[in-house]
Amino acid sequence: MYRVGIDLGGTNIVAGVVDEEYNIIAKANCKTAVPRPEADICDSMAAVVKEAVKKAKLKMDDIDYIGIGVPGAVNPETRIIETSPNLFFQNWEVAKMMEERLHKYTKVENDANAAALGEFLAGSAKGSRNAVAITLGTGVGGGIVIDGKIYSGSNYAGAELGHMVIVKDGIECGCGRKGCWEAYASATALIRMTKDAIKGEKPEFSYMLNAVGGDLDQVSGKTAFDAMLAGDNTGREVVEKYIDYLATGLINVINIFQPDVLCIGGGIANQGENLLGPLRTIIERERFTKHNEKQTKVCVATLGNDAGIIGAACI
């Protein structure tokens, strides 16, 4: 049995063919290039699915169904994306549109829920009972697994952890609210902080500006971390500020859910212990259960960006 999982992100669309053992045997991708019409994005998703299936040396007849993980509020029953701030869509009948293109039954789930399911089934949370997966990307996604089942609330919009406020009247988030965790802890937020820090330096003395060839558009989520590791003080300050904001939200999540495992995915998680070491120090100091023997394991999501693909394929 083969299924296709699609990770529809604000930056990239990635499709993967997944087998019964949760292995991705082939992938294909393209840029999301938002904003653009729903039909155009569906055309792109259909194209990467066909490419992935071809790379797997299979035919569409070999595929049982397709699952899509998408940022925002998703209703798995109606299979409609009710709202997706990062994709600029509301009430998008994405499953119906994909079925018209590929003639395969299509399921839809929040991307962070899909990633959490992927990690629970085959990754860093495998064998746990309760787990939370945080995805640091264009936004901050949250997926919660309780007693082996995805928790999404009565209206399927639960686990939007990125939209809890950590700074009252802070920076405006894509959802329209001010001070959301996503506005401070996403990869997008880290890039913004890095650019702001560079702008505050004299160009001739800016290590990070030189590292990106003088082009702020080349700043990425790695820029500040790379600068810090090279001994640059401004890079270190940006990283410390970012980690402090990230830790604030993580501690809230741990205090509320007390999961066995809290795993962190997304491109920023590739920093490994450069990220996790300082995070654990803050969490151990500030968590409510600091005196308990059993503590939440904080780790990198071992499936990386594949978690959302595997989870979407296994909805």
Domain boundaries, the chain: 2-117+306-313
C-alpha pair distances (Å), 238 with each of 193, 221, 241: 7, 11, 5
Give the total residue count for the chain.
315
79-85 long-range Cβ contacts below 8 angstroms, 24+ apart: 79/106, 79/107, 79/108, 80/108, 81/108, 82/156, 82/157, 85/139, 85/173, 85/174, 85/175, 85/176
- CATH code, residues 2-117+306-313: 3.30.420.40
CA dist 194 and 199 (Å) reads 9
The pTM of this model reads 0.82
pLDDT tens, N- to C-terminus, the chain (315 residues): 899 999 998 889 999 999 999 999 999 999 999 999 999 999 999 999 999 999 999 999 999 999 999 987 889 899 999 988 778 889 999 999 999 999 999 999 988 899 899 999 999 999 999 999 998 988 898 899 999 889 988 888 788 899 999 999 999 998 899 999 999 999 999 999 999 999 999 988 999 999 999 999 999 999 999 999 999 999 999 999 999 999 999 999 999 999 999 999 888 999 999 999 999 999 999 999 999 989 999 999 999 889 999 999 998
